[in-house]
Amino acid sequence: MSYVHQNLQLQSLNLPFGKAVCVGRNYADHAKELNNQIPSKPVLFIKPASCAVSFMPNFKIVQNRGNVHYEAEIAILIGQNLSGKISKNSAQNAILGLGSALDLTLRDEQSSLKKQGLPWELAKSFDNALVLTPFVTELDFFDVNNLAIKFFINNQIKQNGNCLQMLWQILDLIVFIAEHFNLQKGDLILTGTPAGVGILNLGDNLKLELSNFSQNIKLAEFESVVN
């Protein structure tokens, strides 16, 4: 099966990139590993464009602020403005590209903020907290209801999730998000992380892999190093 991978950086798509709307606790098994309750509607937070960096060929992580956790996520690039009540069909038509991301999290900081009932920005929106692979825009082989993501550190698999495990499917998420935030051309949606989050260390070799879940076809893979 052909390997679909158009190596496009966000910048080369020449889109304004304002924000990434991120979904927390979209996989029940990840909510459980952090002792969080299963939410009754999507938990959303926003990472501004200012904290985005490229996954490839390498990226830097913040030092001296406690553990930096990876959260590997399927990322959706929105290609048209969306707001208010939209149909799943419009959501589908608005998808311009698919990629993957690490939603980096200062987990110690986040746990302390959570305990105090405070917002998470210090733990989620710091510089370099949004690590993005290139986005694939040739989407013929991609079915957003049938995607899987795998994340490897030093050739060991750490996370392995697929759309069927999501509490809210990707199109439902886009519909829900558009009702609450104007989605603008160039915005991203991070669709939540499966179980297996953990610490990133300097020198780690990383690989993110996207595949079609039911047919087990690898669609794209991206490699990086933490430095």
103 binds Zn ion (CB under 5 A): yes
List binders of Zn ion among 154-193 (CB under 5 A).
193
Task: Pick between residue 71 and residue 209 the one whose CB is nearest to Zn ion.
Answer: 71
| Token pair listed for 37 | 């309750």
Task: Pick between residue 159 and residue 211 the one whose CB is nearest to Zn ion.
Answer: 159
Instruction: Please tell me the total number of residues recorded for the chain in this structure.
Output: 227
Q: Residue 205: left (phi > 0), alpha (psi -120 to 50), or beta?
A: beta
Task: Pick between residue 103 and residue 109 the one whose CB is nearest to Zn ion.
Answer: 103
Tell me the closest approach of the beta carbon of residue 106 to Zn ion, in angstroms.
Answer: 13
Tell me the closest approach of the beta carbon of residue 123 to Zn ion, in angstroms.
Answer: 11
Tell me the closest approach of the beta carbon of residue 89 to Zn ion, in angstroms.
Answer: 27
Rounded-to-integer distance, Cα 193 and Cα 15, Å: 26
Tell me the closest approach of the beta carbon of residue 15 to Zn ion, in angstroms.
Answer: 22
26 binds Zn ion (CB under 5 A): no
Rg, C-alpha atoms of the chain: 16
Per rule CB under 5 A, count of chain residues that contact Zn ion: 3
Task: Pick between residue 103 and residue 209 the one whose CB is nearest to Zn ion.
Answer: 103
Torsion of CA 201, 206, 212, 218, to 10 degrees: -160
Q: Select the span of 11-19, 69-77, 126-134, 214-222 touching Zn ion (CB under 5 A).
A: 69-77
Task: Pick between residue 4 and residue 161 the one whose CB is nearest to Zn ion.
Answer: 161
71 binds Zn ion (CB under 5 A): yes
Tell me the closest approach of the beta carbon of residue 124 to Zn ion, in angstroms.
Answer: 8
Tell me the closest approach of the beta carbon of residue 184 to Zn ion, in angstroms.
Answer: 21
Query: Quick one: three-class SS letters along 193-224?
Result: CCCCCEECCCCCEEEEEEEECCCCEEEEEEEE
Find the helix or strand (DSSP H, E) in which 160 lies. strand 156-162
Pick from 213, 193, 201: nearest CA to 151: 193
Task: Pick between residue 4 and residue 173 the one whose CB is nearest to Zn ion.
Answer: 173
Pick from 207, 206, 176: nearest CA to 191: 176
Binding site for Zn ion (CB under 5 A): 71, 103, 193
